[in-house]
Each structure stands twice: as structure tokens, then as C-alpha cells.
Structure 1
Amino acid sequence: MRISEKGERGAPGFDDPLGLLHACHERIEGHCATLVRLAAHVRIHGGDREAQAAAGRVHHYFAQAGRWHHEDEERDLAPLLQRHADSAWSAVVARLMSEHRALEQAYAPLEPLLRALPMVPADLPIEPYVSLMRAHMAAENTVLLPRARAVLEASEIAALGRAMAARRGVRL
């Protein structure tokens, strides 16, 4: 099995920003699966060219698109949801957004190793990052995004899409 596997489907556009956030979660899951395969590969083959290429793709994604994704949620989606929230829902949104800091801290020891291939230890420290990320995405997919679809008005969803596009330098 190759470390990286292709198979991305077409993602929703900025006219469906909630769908785009969900599709981003699917890509993140793909990168988490790559990390799991990469760790197994490095234990056997070390930091060979295939490992270096996979690590580079994962690092590039998390360094750029992953940061944009967190900004989309923290700067734009969370404030929109807070407008429609009672205190219990506000606490859920705040908890999910604070998990982004925990994810960043869990990724921190892994990030320089991904950049340092082929000079890596035989055991890449993918945990607790992968487990935390998967649990976080599951919560956002089953709680946050469905709630957003239920309470946000069309104008708010359109504003979210415009903000996400602008963050990426895309003109609509």
C-alpha cells in the first residue's frame, strides 16, 4: 500500500461554506490516515523518498489549509453561531474552538519531524494528534455543522462563504 492515496472528490464551493468545511474535515481525515501509514512506513523503511513526499504533503496541508480551516471556524463561523446561542450552546462552541489550541499543541512535536525527513526517529509521534483530531472532527461534523445548518440564515451563510474565499485570496 502506498503511503498516500488519491481519491479526492470535488469539494463544495464557497457558495456552500458549511459543505466546504465538512469536505475539509474529509481531507483532514485523509491526511490523518496518511500519518498512520507514514508512521508504519518509517518504522520499516525509514525516511525514504516515498516517506518524504507523503510527509511534505501532510505538512503543507496542515501548515496552510489547516490554519485557514481553524480561522474559518474561529473568526467567522463561531461568532455567527454565538448570535443564535443560549448559554449551553455557547459553551459547546467555545469548547470546540478551544480544542484548536490543543490540536496545535499536539501537532507541534510532529511538525518539525515531518519537515526533517529523512532524518527522523523510527517512531513518529503521531499520537495524540491523530486521535484528538479525529474526535474533534467527529464533534464538529455531528454537532457544530448540523447546528449551523439549522440556525444560520442564508445571508449569514453567504457572508461566511465570502469570508472564507477572501482568506484564501479568492475573488467571488
Structure 2
Amino acid sequence: MNSIQMDSDPIAVLMQEHHRAAKQLSLLEQAVISINVDGFTRHAFECIAEAIRFFEGEFRQHDKKEEQFLFPLLEKHQPGITREYRNEHRELWSAFNHLLSCVNDVEDGRLRGSSRQELVETATRIVHLLRAHIANENTILFVKAKKLFSTEEYKEFRDNVASVTA
């Protein structure tokens, strides 16, 4: 990418969203620890609910920005470069939907002997998968985008991200 300064660098926007996601992952991780130590508590469920609201709202928008705007531009330069990231997105949303199902079961009193373990394992899986995914995007994919995109492509990317962020 040619050197251009922008008020709202789209990569910086995505990285800020990753930072907010990391905070939610810590909250989710703390809820898991609490459930392992104290069992299901109101506080643990409130932490999980807060994380779920974030991922259902802001983080779905984040993935939309990547899938609709970042990935297609990267694919123009390097076909196949985003395949792994798209697969990770699908895997993460599948795990997230399973977590949501586990939480709904607990809230509705549909407890099985494995309910607690299933919820804890699913939440832990999300934490590990998403932390690794964020690290790869921040250190590999976003760096490649900055190197590969022309000034015009970067401006297009910026405008598209801004249209979803606004």
C-alpha cells in the first residue's frame, strides 16, 4: 500500500474491535473459572450474557466487515489467502451457537448431567479459538492487506468499513 494517512484507518478499526473482543473473551474466561469453582451463579451467567450480547452485536458486524470488504480485496491479490480465516469464522460461530444453546438449556431448566461441562468446554473452546484467530489476523492477515492493497483499494476498504461502523 502506498503511504497514506487516514483519520479512520480500517485496519486500526478492525484491530480496535479485536481488542474489545479480547476483553469479552477475558470476561467469558472468568465466568468459566467461576462456574468451575462455584457452579452456576448469577454473576457467571451475567458475564456470559454480556459476552453473548457483544458477540451477537458488535462482533457479527466485525466479521461482516472482514467477509464482505477485506477478504474479497485480499483474494484479488492472492486467491485462497482467506480460506482458513473464513473456515475459522464458521467454526467460531458454530461454537458460539452451541454456547447459546447451552445457556438457553440452563436458563430453561433443561439440565443434563453434562450441562455444566458442556457449557464450560464450549466457552473455553471459543476463548482459545478466537484468541488464536485474532492473533493471526492482527499479525499476518492485516499486515498483508497493508502491503498488498493499492491506495485506491485501501480507500475503498476504508469507505466500506466506515459505512458499517457509522
Distance 1:101 1:70, change over 3 A: same
Mapping for residues 68-83 of structure 1, pairs under 5 Å: 68-83=61-76
CA distance in 2 between partners of 1:51 and 1:117 (Å): 12
Percent of counterpart pairs with the same letter? 25
Which of 7, 12, 16 is residue 23 of structure 1 equivalent to? 16
Say if 2:29 and 2:124, in contact at 8 Å, map to a contact too. Answer: no
Deviation string 1:43-96 (CA, Å, 9 cap, x unpaired) is 3334433223312210111101111111111110011112222xxxx2232221
Quick check: 75-84 or 127-136, which moved more? 127-136
Which structure's residues are more often helix, by fraction? 2
Quick check: 67-76 or 49-58, which moved more? 49-58
Say if 1:14 and 1:162, in contact at 8 Å, map to a contact too. Answer: no
CA distance in 2 between partners of 1:152 and 1:25 (Å): 21
Report the counterpart of residue 156 of structure 1 in structure 2: 153
CA distance in 2 between partners of 1:116 and 1:29 (Å): 26
Quick check: 27-36 or 120-129, which moved more? 120-129
Report the counterpart of residue 85 of structure 2 in structure 1: 96
Which of 92, 96, 109 is residue 98 of structure 2 equivalent to? 109
Mapping for residues 24-103 of structure 1, pairs under 5 Å: 24-85=17-78, 90-103=79-92
Question: What 5-or-longer segments of structure 1 have no aligned partner?
Answer: 1-12
Report the counterpart of residue 125 of structure 2 in structure 1: 128
Number of aligned positions between the proteins: 153
Distance 1:114 1:149, change over 3 A: farther
CA distance in 1 between partners of 2:28 and 2:36 (Å): 12
Say if 1:59 and 1:115, in contact at 8 Å, map to a contact too. Answer: no
Distance 1:19 1:106, change over 3 A: same
